[in-house]
Structure 1
Amino acid sequence: MRRAFCLLVLLMLFGTPLAIYRGWLPVPPAWNPWTPLDVRQPPNLLTGYKLMRLQRDPELCRMALDSSVLRYTAVADSEPAAGCAVENAVRVQRAGVQFSSAFLASCKLAVAYALFEEHGLQPAARQAFGQPVARVEHLGSFACRNIGTSQRRSQHASANALDIAGFRLKDGRRISVARHWEGAGQEALFLRQVRDAACSSFNVTLGPEYNAAHRDHFHLDMGLFRLCR
């Protein structure tokens, strides 16, 4: 009896994924680990895995990006500065919002941003102010440098990070991390909601509560480790 139970468990653990992969067991695309990530669908338990697959598969990346409203151009693999290679990257021109400038981004960073805007940033803006964000003001993505004074390369060194300093609403009002984070008004509440939403989309989200170096922006990256501060 116990042996039969163990065989049944093994069949479920290994047989079910194989059946889904082969198409023998139909499941909704959002719950199929091998279907492309659709940015329009709400994130679920498989979203992180699907994001992870994108960086080594440019075609899968393109399919995910094309499910979003991002306007982008593919960028050839290069080493813009010695020791800082950029692979499977795109130049993001705009999304549902305008950006203060176009920026270079690894594929999975660009897709993570699209998820963040669609399911985190804009819902938070509509809840707080009854209107969407029209412009995102950032401090850049690619910078060939280490983390602080350490010997470890920053995620910026591979265009795998983006620093956001503020947001401009549709009516022209500007929400600044530096100016409004410490406040007690609707702007401060909105920034905390944005920080929390970013933690769901990016592997690392660092803001003013992390250290003084981040007092005026949110650092968002898709590194190997998860950290939300």
Structure 2
Amino acid sequence: MTWRMGGASALALLLALSAAAQAPTPPLPPPRPDRPPVQTDEARSEKPAPGEAPAEAKAPDADDPEAACLARLAELGLKFESRPPVQEKSCSIENPVLLSALADDVQVAPPSLMACPVAEQLSKWMKEAVAPEAERQFQSAPTKLLIGTSYQCRDQRNGEKLSEHAFGNGVDVMGFEFAKRAPLSIDSHPENSPEAAFQESVRKAACPIFTTVLGPGSDAAHGDHLHLDLRQRKGDYRICQ
């Protein structure tokens, strides 16, 4: 049997088919309680890759003292490189940094390897004592901290035990450079001179910050530098000479 359709009927049929094709896709039914919802592409892009920690987990762990110390150095504006742990004979540094500058672009010359806490205390000493005293005595900001020895695998000078330098736990400060005056070396300066007043002030200010401070007048071995370290002793005993 042959079917024939008028023009009006054909047009109505075509319009109906077109409307059906353009109709929106009906929404999916809600997921069954025993099945997780389908993830969108956006949700998948936010999910960390296998083996990758979430972003919030990558923040420094306050319970990890080594990571926390490195984070504080960065916050203070120090320039440094974190280095792998040092192990050389009986000498070692658990959390070493190669320090090249303190805050306000005070250079550390040469860049020196030390334990992270020593770098942090040097920054504290520079900010709270050295810079204010330099402005008071010389009307000039310090630009460079001159280091003689930082990490060095050796015994104490008396040979009784390992030096704090063997653990990156001490530095020898040889002097300072300034923006508006000549460099100053640690030495026995003329009494009542600005140089003597500056050196004595920064030496005394180092004593609450470091556990050992030795300089000119303490013994013959420390006549040309300030030895600063963080040696731990019973009862928080400190040496300041």
TM over 0.5: yes
Q: Is the CA contact (8 Å cut-off) linking 1:69 and 1:114 kept in structure 2?
A: no
**Correspondence 1:37-52 to 2 at 5 A:** none
**Could you tell me which residue of structure 2 aligns to residue 74 of structure 1?**
82
Deviation at 1:177, TM superposition (A): 1.1
**Could you tell me which residue of structure 1 aligns to residue 91 of structure 2?**
84
CA–CA distance in structure 2, aligned partners of residues 214 and 73 of structure 1 = 29
**Could you tell me which residue of structure 2 aligns to residue 168 of structure 1?**
177
Offset from partner CA, 1:38-84 (integer Å, 9 cap, x none): xxxxxxxxxxxxxxx99x721111222122121011111121x3111
Offset from partner CA, 1:110-168 (integer Å, 9 cap, x none): 11101111111101111111111111111020111111133211100011100011111
Give the secondary-structure state (helix, strand or coil) at the position aligned to 1:91. strand
Give the secondary-structure state (helix, strand or coil) at the position aligned to 1:85. strand
Among 140, 146, 160, the residue aligned to 1:151: 160
CA–CA distance in structure 1, aligned partners of residues 214 and 167 of structure 2 = 18
Q: Is the CA contact (8 Å cut-off) linking 2:188 and 2:216 kept in structure 1?
A: no
TM-score (normalizing by structure 1):
0.72
Q: Does 1:118 align with 2:127?
A: yes
Aligned residue pairs total 175
Q: Is the CA contact (8 Å cut-off) linking 1:205 and 1:219 kept in structure 2?
A: yes
**Could you tell me which residue of structure 1 aligns to residue 219 of structure 2?**
211
Q: Is the CA contact (8 Å cut-off) linking 2:144 and 2:178 kept in structure 1?
A: yes
**Could you tell me which residue of structure 2 aligns to residue 133 of structure 1?**
142
Offset from partner CA, 1:167-204 (integer Å, 9 cap, x none): 11112411111253x54310100000110111121111
**Could you tell me which residue of structure 2 aligns to residue 228 of structure 1?**
240
Cα RMSD over matched residues?
1.9
Tell me which structure has the larger Cα radius of gyration. 2
**Could you tell me which residue of structure 1 aligns to residue 118 of structure 2?**
109
Identity of aligned residues (%): 29
Q: Is the CA contact (8 Å cut-off) linking 2:188 and 2:223 kept in structure 1?
A: no
Give the secondary-structure state (helix, strand or coil) at the position aligned to 2:97. strand
**Could you tell me which residue of structure 1 aligns to residue 72 of structure 2?**
64
Instruction: Give the gaps of 5 or more residues in structure 2.
Output: 1-59
Among 176, 188, 199, the residue aligned to 2:196: 188
Instruction: Give the gaps of 5 or more residues in structure 1.
Output: 1-35, 37-52
Runs of 4 or more, structure 1, over 6 Å off, are: none
* Closer, same or farther: CA 173–179 of 1 in aligned 2, 3 Å: farther
